[in-house]
A and B are shown apart, each in its own frame.
Chain A
Amino acid sequence: MAPTTTMKPIPTDGFPTPTSSAQAETVKVLLEHFVAESSVPNLQKNAHMQFLMRNLSQGFPQRYTSQDASQPWLMYWTLQAFSVLQVGLDPGNKQNAIDTIMASQHPDGGFGGGPKQAAHLLPTYASVCALAIAGRPGAGGGWDQINRDQMYKFFMSLKQPDGSFLVAHHSEVDVRGIYCLLVVATMLDIITPELVEGTAEFIASCQTYEGGFSSASQPYYAPSNSDKPTLLGSPRPALGEAHGGYTFCALASWVLLQPFLPSTSTKINKKALVRWLVQMQGAPVELGGFKGRTNKLVDGCYSWWVGGAFGLLESVGIDPAAVSSSVRSDTQAEDGDWDDVDDSLLNRKALQEYILFAGQHPAGGLRDKPPKPADSYHTLYCLAGLSSAQHRVFPSAARRRDLLDSWTDTVDGGDQEAEAKENALRKRIFVEALSYTQEEGTETVVGGAVNRVNATHPIFNLTITHSDAMMAHFYGQVLPPRTLQRPAQT
Chain B
Amino acid sequence: MPAPETAAPAKLKYAERPEWADVEPLQQYEIANPLAPILYSEEYKDATDYLRGIVKAGERSERVLELTEHVIRLNPAHYSAWQYRYETLVALSAPLDVELKLMDEFADKHLKTYQVWHHRRLLLLLTRKPAPELALIARILQRDEKNYHTWAHRQWLLAFFNEPSLWEGELDFVDTMMNKDVRNNSVWHHRFFVVFQSGVREGEEDRERILKRELIYVKQNISLAPNNASAWNYLRGVLEHTRQPFGSLAAFVQPYTVPLPASTTDIVDLENPPPGRDADLPCAAAIEFLADVYEERGGADNVDKAVELWRSLANEHDTIRKKYWEWRIREALATSS
A284 contacts the other chain (Cβ, under 8 Å)? yes
A218, A281, A330: the one contacting B159 at CB < 8 Å is A218
B201 contacts the other chain (Cβ, under 8 Å)? no
Count of A-B residue pairs with CB < 8 Å: 264
Between B230, B238, B326, the greatest number of chain A beta carbons within 10 A of the residue's beta carbon is seen for: B326
B122 contacts the other chain (Cβ, under 8 Å)? yes
Whether B36 lies near A218 (C-beta < 8 A) is no
A172, A278, A283: the one contacting B114 at CB < 8 Å is A172
Of B16-24, B27-35, B168-176, B264-272, the one with at least 4 CB within 8 A of chain A: B27-35
In the assembled complex, the Cα of A60 lies from the Cα of B279 at a distance in Å of: 49
Q: Which residue of A lies closest to B326 (CB)?
A: A331
Of B38-46, B61-69, B245-253, the one with at least 4 CB within 8 A of chain A: B38-46
Whether B280 lies near A55 (C-beta < 8 A) is no
B312 contacts the other chain (Cβ, under 8 Å)? no
Q: Which residue of A lies closest to B323 (CB)?
A: A345
Whether A221 lies near B162 (C-beta < 8 A) is yes
Q: Which residue of B lies closest to A94 (CB)?
A: B35
Given contacts A103-B29, A222-B162, A344-B323, contact A117 B40 (CB under 8 A): no
In the assembled complex, the Cα of A59 lies from the Cα of B146 at a distance in Å of: 34
Q: How many residues of B contact A (CB 8 A)?
A: 99
CB-CB under 8 A from A55, the residues of chain B are 36
Q: Which residue of A lies closest to B284 (CB)?
A: A11
In the assembled complex, the Cα of A274 lies from the Cα of B327 at a distance in Å of: 11
Whether A13 lies near B41 (C-beta < 8 A) is no
CB distance from B336 to the nearest CB of A (A): 10
Whether A295 lies near B118 (C-beta < 8 A) is no
Whether A296 lies near B146 (C-beta < 8 A) is yes
Query: A interface, how many residues as a size bin?
Result: 35 or more
Whether B83 lies near A170 (C-beta < 8 A) is yes
CB-CB under 8 A from A342, the residues of chain B are 323
Whether A68 lies near B40 (C-beta < 8 A) is yes
Given contacts A59-B37, A221-B159, A295-B229, contact A17 B279 (CB under 8 A): no
Whether B79 lies near A210 (C-beta < 8 A) is no
Whether A116 lies near B161 (C-beta < 8 A) is no
A366 contacts the other chain (Cβ, under 8 Å)? no
Q: Which residue of B lies closest to A279 (CB)?
A: B229
A17, A68, A222, A279: the one contacting B48 at CB < 8 Å is A68
A316 contacts the other chain (Cβ, under 8 Å)? no
Whether A240 lies near B152 (C-beta < 8 A) is yes
In the assembled complex, the Cα of A346 lies from the Cα of B188 at a distance in Å of: 26
A115, A240, A274, A281: the one contacting B148 at CB < 8 Å is A240
Given contacts A279-B229, A295-B229, contact A59 B39 (CB under 8 A): yes
Q: Which residue of A lies closest to B335 (CB)?
A: A323
Given contacts A100-B35, A170-B87, A241-B186, contact A294 B322 (CB under 8 A): no
A413 contacts the other chain (Cβ, under 8 Å)? no
Of A71-79, A181-189, A301-309, A461-469, the one with at least 4 CB within 8 A of chain B: A71-79
In the assembled complex, the Cα of A16 lies from the Cα of B112 at a distance in Å of: 26
Between B29, B33, B198, the greatest number of chain A beta carbons within 10 A of the residue's beta carbon is seen for: B29
Residues of chain A at the chain B interface (Cβ within 8 Å): 10-15, 17-20, 55-57, 59-62, 64-71, 74-75, 78, 93, 96-97, 99-100, 103, 112-118, 120, 168-172, 208-210, 214-216, 218, 220-222, 237-243, 272, 274, 278-279, 281-284, 288, 293-296, 320, 323-324, 327-328, 330-331, 333, 342-347, 350
Q: Given known contacts A56-B35, A171-B83, what 14 new A-B pairs fall within 8 Å (CB)?
A: A15-B224, A18-B145, A18-B180, A20-B183, A71-B36, A78-B36, A100-B36, A221-B160, A241-B188, A278-B324, A281-B320, A284-B319, A344-B323, A345-B323
